[in-house]
A and B are shown apart, each in its own frame.
Chain A
Amino acid sequence: MFSRWNWVACGFYLLLNICSPEASGGLVQSCGHIIPESPVLALGSNFTALCILNESCLDFGNIYANQIIWKIKNRLVPKEQYREINRTVSSVTFNDTSSLATPLTCNILADGQIEQNIYGITVTVGLAPEKPRNLSCIVHQLSRLRYPMTCTWNPGRHTFLDTQFRLRYSWPQETFPDCIPKDVNNSCTIPDVQFFVNTEIWVEAANALGKAESDPLVLDPVDIVKPLPPHNLSVSSGILPTVLKLSWENRISDAVMKLKFNIRYRIIGDRNWMEIPSEDTASPRTSFSVQGLRPYTEYVFSIRCMKEDGVGYWSDWTEVKAGITTEDKPSKGPPIWRVIDASHSPASWTVHLMWKALKPFEANGVILQYEVTVRDKSSLSSPLKKYNVTSTNHTLQLPNGTYEVTVIARNRIGASPPSVLLIPASNSKAPVKNLRTLPKHDKLWVGWTAPNSYVLKYVIEWCLVSSSSDCIIEWQIALGDVQGIDLKGIKPFKCYLITVYPLYADGQGSGQSVQAYLKQDRPSKGPTVQTKKVGKAEAVLTWNHLTVDEQNGFIRNYTILYKTIDGNETVVTVDPSKTEYTLSSLTSDTLYTVRMMASTDNGSRSGPDFTFTTQKFGKGEIEAIVVPVCLAFLLIVLLGVLFCFNKRDLIKKHIWPIVPDPSKSNIAQWSPQVPAKHNFNSKDQMYPEGSFTDVSVVEIEADDKKSFSEQDLKPFDLLKKEKSTSEGHSSGIGGSSCMSSPRQSVSDSDEGETTQNTSSTVQYSTVVLNGYRDQTPVQVFSRSESTQPLLDSEERSEDHAGGGDSTAQRQQYFRQNGGQDETSTDRPCFERTKQITHANEGDLVGFVQLQISGQSSQPLGLGMEKNTQEAALSNVLQTSTEGQTVRPETVEENPLSVDEMPKSYLPQTVRQGGYMPQ
C-alpha cells in the first residue's frame, strides 16, 4: 500500500518537475539529459550515449539509473546494450550506427509500469566526404578576351550529409577566390583565367564528418583552351577547275596562341567527309587552297582549329560553306546503245540511237549538245552523216548494213572523247551463256558466262513487262571483264525481261533473254474458269491466262478444285501453259462447283466459283433410242404399205369397190326429162348449199370446155362462193379416192360438217360431164360411197319412182340437210322455185365469174358479182350462144330443169330410185 502511494507521488513529482517553470528556470526542466547532444555519426561506426539523471529527481521521485530504458523511434533498445554506470547514469551502446534512427530517447519506468520520457536526441548518420577524383579543367573561349575555365571532378560517394565542395586555384604568390559550385557538386567555372602562369587547382570537399582534398592540378590554362572556331569562312573558285580557295578569320590572338587547323569537305549530297592532310594545315594561317577537286562540282567546307602544339582541345567545326568549281571539258563520252526496228522493211532499218547523259563528274559542266556521226562501213564512198542533238536519243532511217556510230558530248569548255558503237548488219557473233538472275535485297543481280571470244563490253537491256503498257527499254553497259551486274530501280512483283548482248571488236553477239522478278508475290487474282462443254460424265473447262500484271510472279501451276454440293473437293493440278482441262468421271445430272487457283512461288489465289450441271444423258444416247424407234416405225409403215399393196385387190374389194361406169349402164338411156316430172320441189330445198360440203367435185374434162352446159357449171359457182380452197380436180370418177376421206374434201365449213355428221354414211360425188362421145350428156351425177351397187339403187329408184311416201322421205331428208341454210330455210319451196326461175341469168353469170377468177385470181364478193353480172351478161350469152348451139336450146326448152340439174339431179335419182341413207 505504501509502495503504491510512493509511486503515485513520484509520478506527480516528475510531472511537476517537468512542467514547473519555476523549478527549471525556463519552460521545461528535464529530470535528465543525454550526452552527446544531437551527434553526427559516421555510418557504420559504434556509438555510446549516456543518460544522466538529475540529483533532484533522485531524492524526490526515487528514480534511479537502473530504471532507465532506451528507445529508438518508439522502438525499445534491447537491455543487453544498456549499462548502468552509477545510480544516475545509464549508457547505451550501438555497434553499428546504421541501426540508429531519430529520435533516441531516454525513458524511465516509474513504479515499474508508467513510462516517462526523460530526454531525447536527434542522431544524424552519414559519411565523411571522399577525396574528389578525376579533376579536369578546360578553358572555353567565349570571345577574344574572355576565357572562363570549367573544372569537373568526381565527388565520390554520397555522404548523406550537407557537404561543401569548393574549387580552389592559386599562383605561387597569389591566391584567388574559391569557386563554389551552384546546384551541383561536381563542377565549377572560374570566370576568367590568366595564361602563361602555372596555376595550381584542387577541389576541397567538407562536411560535419570531415574534409577531403583532391590531388592538385598544376597547369598553365593556355594549355587547356578550347578556342572558338574560325569565322567568316569563304570559298572562292580559282583559275583551275579543280581548286577552291578557303579564307577565314581566327578569333584568338597570336599573342595567346598560335593555331593549327583541320579542313574537311564533301560534295553536296554526299555524306562522307574528306579531310585535308593535317600536316598541310599545321601552321598558323587564314587561308588554304583545296586541290584535286572535281570540275563543276559543288562542295561544302568546314574548318576547326586548336593550339599549334597540339596541347589543348580542338575547336568546334565551323558552319559549312559551299563553293563550286569551274567547268572543264567532259572527261568521257556518253555510253551509247541502239534499238533497231526492221519490221517495216527487211531492207531498211529504223535505228533508235540512245545514249546516257554523263554523270556530273564526267560531264564537268553543262552539256550543251551531242554530236552524232554515222559512218556506213559497208560503203567506203558514202559520206559521213553528222547530227547535232540536244536530247539523249536520235532516230535514223538506214539501209540494212554495217555502221559505226560516234557520239561526242560538248559543254562550254570543250568536247568529250568519242563514244563508238558498231552496228553490224547481223548479230552473228556468239551470245553469252548461262544467263541467270538473283535478287539481292533491292537489286537484281544478272549474271552470265562469257563467250569464248574476247568481249569488249556487254549491253544489258531490261524492261518491265506489262499488259497495260509497252516495254520501255532501259539499258546499261558493263565492261567486258565482268560477268554480272546489279540492276537498280527494279520494282518488286513486276516481271522484267532482261537481255544481254556481248559487243565484240568486230561485231555483236545475239542477245540472250531471261525473265525475272525481284520479288514474287501470290497472284493478285485467280483465273476465271468456265465450261466449254459439259457432258454426262465429263466437262471441258477453259480459262484465260492471267495477265502479266496480275501474276506477280511466275505461275508455277494451276489448281482446279471442284466438288458437288455435298461431296468432297477434288483437286487437280494443271500445267501453267494450258488453258483447257477436261474433268472426267463426273456424276451425271449433278451440280458441280469448280474454281481455279493460280500459284506462284510465294502463294496462290483462287478465282471465282463456277457451277455447272452434268447432263442426264450422254452424247448419242437419245439418238440411240430415237433412231431405232423411228426406224422401227418406218419399217412397220413400209410393211403395212407393202401389205396393202399386196392385198390391194382385197382391200379395194372391201373398202373401194369398183364403181360401174354409169355410161355403160342401162341408165345411159335414161332421159333427163324423166326426173323433171319429179322436180316439183324447190331446187333450194333439194340442194341446199350445205349439202355440197360433203361432196367431192370431179371435173371430167372433155375436148371442149365450152361444151359444158351452164347448168353443169353451176355447182362450181356455189362451191367457189363458200369454199374457195376446196377446189379439186380429178381425172375421173373416184377423184376422191379411197385414200382421201370425205372430210378432206370439205374442210372449213361448219355447216358442211354439220351436214356431214347428219349424212355421215352417205357421200356423193358430183360428176360433171360433157357429152360422152356425142351422147347426150348426163349433166350431174352423184355417187354414193355406199358399197351397194348403184344398179340396185336404180332398180330401187324405179321401184319407188311413183311412190308417194318416197317423196315424203326425200323431203324430210333434204330439210334435215338444209337446216343450216340461212336464205332458204324460211322460204316456202314454191317461192324459191320462182326465184330460181328468174335467177337463170345469174347462174350463167356465176359461170363466167368462175372463169374470170381463175384468170385474175381476184375474188369478188357476191354482191359485186351480181352488180357486174348484168353488164357482162350480154357478152356471156353471146359467147355461150356461139360456143354451144345445143344447150341454149336445152335451156330454152326446159329452163327450170336446166337450172336445177347440177344440184338436184342425182339425189333425186338416188332418192327416187337408188340408194337411200338409212
Chain B
Amino acid sequence: MAAADSPSAALRRRDLCSRGIRLAGKMRADVVDLLDAYVERQGLDASASVAAVEGVPPAAVERWDEQTGTQRLLENLAAYRAFRALLAQMLEEQREQLGDADAALGRALAAVLLQVSAFAYHLEELLRLESRGIPGEEGAGPPPPPRLSLFEQKLRGLGVLRELAQWAVRSARDLRQLAKPSPAAGSAPGLAESP
C-alpha cells in the first residue's frame, strides 16, 4: 500500500480499477454473446452440464468479503492467466476445426482473448501499485491439457466460457471493492460504477 500514498498512484489505481470494472463488464457481455454463438456453432446444448475446468480457480469462494485486496488481485490474475491460455488453445482448436469457415466466431474468441489479456494487464498494474511482486506465469498456468476428443474439446470450451462469464462478474465486484477508499488512504473516492 505504499504506492497508494502518492496522489498520482491513487489516481492511477482508481483509473485502473475503473477501467477494469468496465472491461469486466464488457467482457462478461461479450462472453455471454459468445456463449450463445459457441453453443450454436458447436452444436451443443446450452443446458449441458460441464465439469469444472482444470487449472482455473473457482469464481465462487467462501468468505469473499473477508479477502484482502491483494488476495483478490492474485486470485483474479491466476484465473485470467489460465483463461488466456485456455482461450488461446480454444482459438487454435477452433481454427483447426472450422478453418476460416466461421471467422465471426474466431473473431469473437480473439476479442475475448484480448480482453482477458487486457484485464490481466490491469491486474498486474494494480499489483504493481500494491508494491507486490507479480507471480511468474510458469507456475500459475494450467497444466498441459490432456489430449481430448473433439467433443470433449467443445465441452471444455463451453466450460471455459461459462467460468469466464462468472469470473467477469466476480472481478467487477473485486475491483469495486478495491476501488473503495481504504481506511489507510482515505482519500480515494468510491466509484459507483457497475459492470
User: A residues engaging B (CB < 8 A)?
Assistant: 145, 171-174, 192, 194-198, 220, 222, 253, 255-256
Let me know if A195 and B26 touch, CB within 8 A: yes
Let me know if A255 and B117 touch, CB within 8 A: no
Let me know if A196 and B118 touch, CB within 8 A: yes
A54 vs B29: C-alpha distance in the bound complex, in angstroms?
76
Let me know if B19 and A197 touch, CB within 8 A: yes
A222 vs B108: C-alpha distance in the bound complex, in angstroms?
18
A708 vs B124: C-alpha distance in the bound complex, in angstroms?
184
Let me know if B33 and A171 touch, CB within 8 A: no
Tell me how many residue pairs across A and B have CB atoms closer than 8 Å.
Answer: 49
Which residues of the other chain, B, contact A196 by a CB distance below 8 angstroms?
A: 19-20, 22-23, 26, 118
A333 vs B20: C-alpha distance in the bound complex, in angstroms?
65
A222 vs B30: C-alpha distance in the bound complex, in angstroms?
15
A194 vs B25: C-alpha distance in the bound complex, in angstroms?
13
Let me know if A172 and B23 touch, CB within 8 A: no
Let me know if A253 and B121 touch, CB within 8 A: no
A256 vs B26: C-alpha distance in the bound complex, in angstroms?
6
Let me know if A220 and B19 touch, CB within 8 A: yes
A680 CB to closest chain B CB (Å) equals 173
A195 vs B114: C-alpha distance in the bound complex, in angstroms?
10
Task: Indicate whether A172 sits within 8 Å of B121 (C-beta atoms), given known contacts A196-B22, A220-B19.
Answer: yes
Please tell me if B115 contacts chain A, counting CB pairs below 8 Å: yes
Let me know if A192 and B107 touch, CB within 8 A: yes
Closest 10 CB pairs of A and B: A196-B23, A255-B29, A197-B118, A255-B25, A255-B26, A196-B19, A194-B114, A196-B22, A173-B121, A253-B29
Let me know if B22 and A255 touch, CB within 8 A: yes
A585 vs B23: C-alpha distance in the bound complex, in angstroms?
111
Query: Given known contacts A196-B23, A253-B26, what 8 new A-B pairs fall within 8 Å (CB)?
Result: A145-B108, A171-B118, A171-B121, A173-B117, A173-B124, A174-B121, A195-B22, A222-B22
Let me know if A255 and B28 touch, CB within 8 A: yes
Let me know if A194 and B29 touch, CB within 8 A: no
Which residues of the other chain, B, contact A222 by a CB distance below 8 angstroms?
A: 22
Select the residue from B20, B28, B30 with max chain A CB neighbours within 10 A. Answer: B30
Please tell me if B195 contacts chain A, counting CB pairs below 8 Å: yes
User: B residues engaging A (CB < 8 A)?
Assistant: 19-20, 22-23, 25-26, 28-30, 33, 107-108, 111, 114-115, 117-118, 121-122, 124, 195
Which residues of the other chain, A, contact B33 by a CB distance below 8 angstroms?
A: 145
Give B32's nearest chain A residue, CB to CB. Answer: A255
Let me know if B111 and A197 touch, CB within 8 A: no
Give A194's nearest chain B residue, CB to CB. Answer: B114
Let me know if A194 and B121 touch, CB within 8 A: no
Give B110's nearest chain A residue, CB to CB. Answer: A192
A174 vs B88: C-alpha distance in the bound complex, in angstroms?
14
Let me know if B20 and A174 touch, CB within 8 A: no
A255 vs B165: C-alpha distance in the bound complex, in angstroms?
14
Which residues of the other chain, B, contact A197 by a CB distance below 8 angstroms?
A: 19, 23, 118, 121-122
Give B23's nearest chain A residue, CB to CB. Answer: A196
Which residues of the other chain, B, contact A194 by a CB distance below 8 angstroms?
A: 111, 114-115, 118
Give A256's nearest chain B residue, CB to CB. Answer: B26
Give A198's nearest chain B residue, CB to CB. Answer: B19
A220 vs B25: C-alpha distance in the bound complex, in angstroms?
16
Which residues of the other chain, B, contact A253 by a CB distance below 8 angstroms?
A: 26, 29
A256 vs B29: C-alpha distance in the bound complex, in angstroms?
9
Which residues of the other chain, A, contact B121 by a CB distance below 8 angstroms?
A: 171-174, 197
A256 vs B195: C-alpha distance in the bound complex, in angstroms?
10
B175 CB to closest chain A CB (Å) equals 11
A220 vs B22: C-alpha distance in the bound complex, in angstroms?
12
A171 vs B120: C-alpha distance in the bound complex, in angstroms?
12
A179 CB to closest chain B CB (Å) equals 16
A145 vs B115: C-alpha distance in the bound complex, in angstroms?
13
Which residues of the other chain, A, contact B19 by a CB distance below 8 angstroms?
A: 196-198, 220
B102 CB to closest chain A CB (Å) equals 15
A173 vs B119: C-alpha distance in the bound complex, in angstroms?
11
Give B20's nearest chain A residue, CB to CB. Answer: A196
A174 vs B107: C-alpha distance in the bound complex, in angstroms?
17
A145 vs B105: C-alpha distance in the bound complex, in angstroms?
12
Select the residue from A173, A195, A197, A220 with max chain B CB neighbours within 10 A. Answer: A197
B121 CB to closest chain A CB (Å) equals 5
A197 vs B111: C-alpha distance in the bound complex, in angstroms?
13
Which residues of the other chain, A, contact B107 by a CB distance below 8 angstroms?
A: 192
A88 vs B195: C-alpha distance in the bound complex, in angstroms?
80
Which residues of the other chain, B, contact A172 by a CB distance below 8 angstroms?
A: 121
Let me know if A195 and B23 touch, CB within 8 A: yes
Let me know if A174 and B117 touch, CB within 8 A: yes
Give A172's nearest chain B residue, CB to CB. Answer: B121
Give B26's nearest chain A residue, CB to CB. Answer: A255
Which residues of the other chain, B, contact A171 by a CB distance below 8 angstroms?
A: 117-118, 121
A197 vs B25: C-alpha distance in the bound complex, in angstroms?
13
A145 vs B30: C-alpha distance in the bound complex, in angstroms?
8
Which residues of the other chain, A, contact B195 by a CB distance below 8 angstroms?
A: 255
Give B29's nearest chain A residue, CB to CB. Answer: A255
B126 CB to closest chain A CB (Å) equals 13
Which residues of the other chain, A, contact B108 by a CB distance below 8 angstroms?
A: 145
A196 vs B195: C-alpha distance in the bound complex, in angstroms?
12
A196 CB to closest chain B CB (Å) equals 4
Which residues of the other chain, A, contact B118 by a CB distance below 8 angstroms?
A: 171, 174, 194, 196-197
A255 vs B124: C-alpha distance in the bound complex, in angstroms?
23
A198 vs B124: C-alpha distance in the bound complex, in angstroms?
14
A725 vs B19: C-alpha distance in the bound complex, in angstroms?
152
Give B34's nearest chain A residue, CB to CB. Answer: A145
B180 CB to closest chain A CB (Å) equals 20
Q: Report 10 cross-chain contacts, Cβ distance below 8 Å, ordered by A residue.
A: A145-B108, A171-B117, A171-B121, A173-B121, A194-B111, A194-B114, A195-B22, A220-B19, A255-B195, A256-B29
A218 CB to closest chain B CB (Å) equals 12
A253 vs B25: C-alpha distance in the bound complex, in angstroms?
10
Which residues of the other chain, B, contact A198 by a CB distance below 8 angstroms?
A: 19
A172 vs B121: C-alpha distance in the bound complex, in angstroms?
8
Give A253's nearest chain B residue, CB to CB. Answer: B29
Which residues of the other chain, A, contact B111 by a CB distance below 8 angstroms?
A: 145, 192, 194
B21 CB to closest chain A CB (Å) equals 9
A463 vs B64: C-alpha distance in the bound complex, in angstroms?
90
A577 vs B195: C-alpha distance in the bound complex, in angstroms?
93
